[in-house]
Structure formats: structure tokens, C-alpha cells
Structure 1
Amino acid sequence: MPIRHCIVHLIDKKPDGSAAVLHARDSELAESQAMENLLADLNESYNAKQGKAWGFFHEESGAYPFSGWLKEYQDGGRDFTAFTRQAVEHLQKLMEESNLSIGGHVLFAHYQQGMTDYLAIALLHHSEGVTVTDALDVAPARHLDLGQLHLAARINLSEWQNNQQSKQYISFIKGKNGKKVSDYFRDFIGCQEGIDPPSETRTLLKAFSDFVESEDLAEEQAREKTKTLVDYASTQAKLGEPITLQELSGLIDEERPRAFYEHIRNKDYGLSPEIPPDKRTLSQFQRFTGRAEGLSISFEAHLLGSKVEYDEGRDMLIIRQLPTQLKDQLKRRKED
């Protein structure tokens, strides 16, 4: 993971309403193993975070100036240190206006992963701990607490530059339960939400269920394809990367690598070519299937207890809200 530029500034702001004080670094951080370890740990913590949102920049304006500064840096009009200094001064101003915010170390890192350039921005805090010294004494020690990462964003610089129609080149951590504590940080980036990962993931899983049903697959084949989808999507979520529909289609059916992709396009599910996976939605997806003597039953695990009820004592399944197509067939049969 080559690090192109990296710097840390400090905004000292207490939760007592006192003014925020900026301590800005005047030069980039030198390359080091510690810096590489920090960025790797930051990415791991960020990727594992639930409740991230994906979006794109507001149009540049006085209220949302960040994208203009970033473009100037990308175009070579200003160096990385000057860009981050102006950005952190803007963050300091927004932080002072927010009564819910406290200060911290502000990390800016421009790095490359594969062929893609990213800019990571995170507000970091310390935790107090203990360590054992070389003399075997126990001593207090402070460390960056990446497990408590609440304000952070990652911008896919390559996609921002090369795909003007994209609405998902920025990801950021959303406040839990709609807390406004993170709103000022989102406004600092100048980001608006463009894609709803849970909704997109649910639509993808619905498309997959329809595909499996339309292919009339054997039970074992259906289970294998389900496992392929969940494994791939979970891996992408762990890496912080989107699900690519064409890649997924090729994994689901190697002999017909475009079959699932064409199914999605022909049925017009409205899915983007790349989907940020939602881990919580994926964890709920599992199919119960069974066939016997002309009877075939298949449903998703999350329906158990709501639309589908299992009565073990009477060896029965109770199904509520039958599919319209099935009801129409039953009605026609009754009329006949």
C-alpha cells in the first residue's frame, strides 16, 4: 500500500464549550514502518465499521469548499501540506460551531491500493493504557484507539476523477441512530448520500433469489451458488470494496458467466454496476430449501417467524402473504 502523502494535525477542543485551538504540522510525515502500520490498522478498523454511508460531493460552494481545494491539490496547484492546512482550518471552524464535538488528531493520508488512489481522513483519539517497560516496570501508556473510530471518510480519488456520473466514490461513517454529532464532519467533506447500502444489498439478494427460482436449480446447486454470493460479498465488505455485478455473475456460474448479470439487466432491478455491501443484511441471508414428492419449498431465513412459521410439533409450515402469482393459480384451479 504505497503512501504518497500523509500528515497529522491536532485540534484541541474540550467538551466544555471552549474555543478550538489548532496545532498544525508544517510538513508531511516521513515514510516509516510505523506510518504503514497505522494506515493498515486504520483501514482494517474502518472497513469493519457498521453503518457506513456512500455518496458524492455537493457542488462546490462557500458552504462546501473542500472539493475545490482537493481538486486544486490533485491538479498540482497546491501541495499536500497546504491543502490539508486549509482543510483542517475549515474543520476547526465547523467544530467550534458544533456543541457536540470534541477535538482530536486529524489524519490525512493519500495512498494507493492496487491501481486506485484514495484519500483517507480520520479524527483520532487516544486511550490510556499500561505497558511493561524493558526494566519490567509497569508504566502508563497512551495509544491511538482505532477501535473507537467514529469520524472518518475515504474518497476514491480515481473514481472521482474518471467517473463523473458516480454517486458512490465517498464513504463515511454515519452517526449511530441518526446522531448529529457526525453531521459537521460530513458537511466538512461536503458529501451527500448517493446510495443506500442496505437497500441495494437487499435488492441484489432479491434478484439472486429470483434468478435461482427461474433457473429451477437442484437444492445442492442453489446452496452452492448462495454460498458463493455470500462469501464473495462478505470478502468485499471486509476489504472495504464494492460488489461488482459482472464479477459476481462470473463466480456464480462459470459456464455462463453473464447469466446472472443479464438476469439483473433484463428484469430492470435498478441496481448500480457496483454495490457497497451491507454486512448486516448479508448476515440475515440464508435460504431454507427442500423437495419431496412433487413439493418444492424455498425461502429466505429472515422470513422465518414473520411470513413463515414452523410448527415442529405438528410438522407444519404456515406461510402468510402468498405470492400473487401463486394465489392466482390457486384461484383459477378452484374456479375450474
Structure 2
Amino acid sequence: MPILQACAHRIDKQSDEQPATLTRGDAMTDTTTAESLLATFNSNFHGKPKAWGHFGGGGGEDDTDSTKNSDAAPAASSRFAFELERYRSGEINFSDFTRQTTESLMPLIDAHLSIGGHWWFVHSRQGEAEYLTLTLLHQREGYGFDSDLNVVPVQQLNLGQLMLAARIDLTQWQRGQSRQYITYVQDRGNKKLVEDFRLWLGCQEGINAGAETRTLLKAFSDYVESEDLPEEASREKTETLIDYANAQAKRGEPITLDELSKLVDEQQPKAFYDYIRNQDYGLAAEIPPDKRTLQQFKRFAGRASGVSISFDSHLLGNSIEYDDERDRLIIKQVPGQLKDQIKDRKG
């Protein structure tokens, strides 16, 4: 992931009572080590709970829709978005853009944090897409060896502690055809901080990753049931879905329905995609995967006395119920293939 521009500014804050101070930096001239840091940051960032959105254009729905099929970026909805537009248009350079936006961040730091850190901006390219990464990197005490092989204290960047971090797909933003080109860390332990950071970005939430992932898994289960697939085939397709979704989450990329459909059924690559569209689940073509929801998606399975049963966990309490007192499993929607076999036997 080549770095096109990078710049860091130091924010010092001694306590809650004292205001933060800013030491401005210049654009980095040597980004070789920074590229390695960015790769490590991305790995940690993708593993955090996140939210997705877009620049709100003042918060109105029509603001984003009006930019479709246009190369112009949406209207600025915050100081940050305004300065980003100026940078992308060439009106200001990268250093000025990062300095001015960091200055506007200082009230947020004073309101929510008792410690400072380094506010790092990176403009990078991955394939044909360009990204802007911005994050507050805190430091922690560590240990190392000096030239005489003595143990000495050293300052280390704490990449595991990402309270303020965002990644913007600049290419999707400029095209104006997406509502989820901004990704930011959603620290559930400090919702007010996250909300103020979202407002500072000028970001309007575009999609609920957890809800969308749950809907996708429900659509997949419905699709598997509608196909009356054998248990082994059903299990293989489920594993394919989960493996693909987890891989996309690890890379920080969305689940693409068209690509997923091809993986689920290589013989009929459009079958699952067409099923979703015909059933009108309301899913977007690209879905940000929610790792927590994916981890909860599994199949219950058991075999005893000639009976083999397996079903997706989310069906429990809906089409399948378990009566604990009588030790009974109640299936409300019998699979068509099984129903036909029973009827043939009775007939």
C-alpha cells in the first residue's frame, strides 16, 4: 500500500484539567517505515468494531443522492470535510490540510481525553483506490536494549488502543455513488466520544453493519432451505460464506453480493444473488461485514438413535423451538424434501 503523503502532529495533554497543546509537524519525506506502520495499523483497525457512513452534506438525504453519477464530491458537512475538499482540489497542500483539521480537533480532545498522542494522517493508494487514514496514536512505556546491551525504557506506539481512528475511501467519495466510504472505530465504552468524532468528521451513518450482516445470514439460510440441499452441501456452502465474510472483514473490505453468489454456487453463479433480489431483502450490493455477528452464526447439529438433526442457530426460537421440560424439538416449517418423503411413505 504505497503512501502518497503522510504527516503527524503531536498533541500533549497532562491531565483532564489542563488544555491540550499542539505541536505541528511537516509532511514526511521518507515513508518507508511508515508503510510498515500503516500495514500494522490496518490489521488492528480492521479487527475493531466499526461503523460506516458518508459525508452528510448537512444531514439531508438528498445531499448524497444528488451527487450520483457525478465526479464532484458531496458538499462539505463539517470543517474537516471542507478542508478535505480543498486538499483534493489542490487548493491547499497536505501539511496545511492536516494542520488545520487537527486544530479543529483540539476541543474534542479536551472534552473527552486525559492524555494526548500523535495525530497521524496518511494518504495512500491500494490498487486503483486511494484512501485517507487518520488516527490518534497513543504511546506506552516499553523496554529495549541499547548499544551496550543494557535494558532501557523506550516509548512504543500502542496500536491496540485505537479510540479515534477513521479510514476514508477517497475514490468512492469522489464518485459519489456510495454511502459507506467512511469507516471509523466504534468504541462501545465511550459512545459520546464516538458521536462527537463522527460529528467532527461530518459523517452521517450510512449502514448498520450488524443489522445488514444479520439480514444477509437470514437470506442465506432461507436460500439454503428453499433449495432443499443435502446436509453436507448445506454445510459446505455455510462454511464458504463464513470464510469469505471473515476474509473480507480481515482485509477491511465489504462483502460483495455478486462475488459471494459465485462462491456459494460455482455451477449457478447468479442463483444466490437473484434469490436475494427477487425476495427483496433490501440488501445493498456491498455489505460491511460485522465480525461479532459472523462469530454468532453457527449450526446446531446432533445425531442419536438413527436421527440426525442440524439447523442454523438463528432459527432457534423462530421456526424451531426447544421444549426443555418435555425434551422436545418442535419444527414448525418442515423441509419440503423431507415432507415429500414422509408423505410417500405414509401413502
TM-score by length of 1: 0.87
Rounded Cα–Cα distance in structure 2 between residues aligned with 1:19 and 1:62: 28
**Distance change >3 Å, CA 178–CA 125, structure 1 → 2:** closer
2:107 aligned with 1:107, yes or no?
A: no
Consecutive unaligned residues in structure 2, runs of 5 or more: 59-74, 340-347
SS at match of 1:121: strand
Rounded Cα–Cα distance in structure 1 between residues aligned with 2:132 and 2:115: 23
SS at match of 2:272: helix
**Distance change >3 Å, CA 117–CA 310, structure 1 → 2:** farther
Moved more, 74-83 or 258-267: 74-83
Report how far residue 54 of structure 1 moved: 0.4
Q: In structure 2, which of residues 286, 290, 296 is the aligned counterpart of residue 284 of structure 1?
A: 296
Report how far residue 176 of structure 1 moved: 1.2
Rounded Cα–Cα distance in structure 2 between residues aligned with 1:305 and 1:134: 64
One-letter code aligned to 1:135: D
> 2:143 is matched with which residue?
130
Rounded Cα–Cα distance in structure 2 between residues aligned with 1:317 and 1:235: 38
SS at match of 2:160: helix
One-letter code aligned to 2:43: E
Report how far residue 149 of structure 1 moved: 1.3
Rounded Cα–Cα distance in structure 1 between residues aligned with 2:113 and 2:149: 41
Q: In structure 2, which of residues 195, 211, 215 is the aligned counterpart of residue 203 of structure 1?
A: 215
Report if aligned partners of 1:17, 1:99 keep a CA contact under 8 Å in 2: no
> 2:66 is matched with which residue?
none
Partner deviation per Cα, 1:155-198 (whole Å, 9 max, x = no partner): 01111111x24211101011214531333322221112111111
**Distance change >3 Å, CA 150–CA 310, structure 1 → 2:** farther
Moved more, 67-76 or 286-295: 286-295
Moved over 6 A (4+): 290-296
2:271 aligned with 1:259, yes or no?
A: yes
One-letter code aligned to 2:17: G
One-letter code aligned to 1:133: D
Fraction of identical pairs, as percent: 51
SS at match of 1:109: strand
One-letter code aligned to 1:9: H
Report how far residue 66 of structure 1 moved: 1.3
TM-score by length of 2: 0.84
Report how far residue 134 of structure 1 moved: 3.2
Consecutive unaligned residues in structure 1, runs of 5 or more: 330-336
2:105 aligned with 1:91, yes or no?
A: yes
CA RMSD of aligned residues (A): 3.0
**Distance change >3 Å, CA 308–CA 138, structure 1 → 2:** farther
SS at match of 2:268: coil
**Distance change >3 Å, CA 63–CA 273, structure 1 → 2:** closer
SS at match of 2:91: coil
Q: In structure 2, which of residues 89, 93, 101 is the aligned counterpart of residue 79 of structure 1?
A: 93
- How many pairs are equivalent? 321
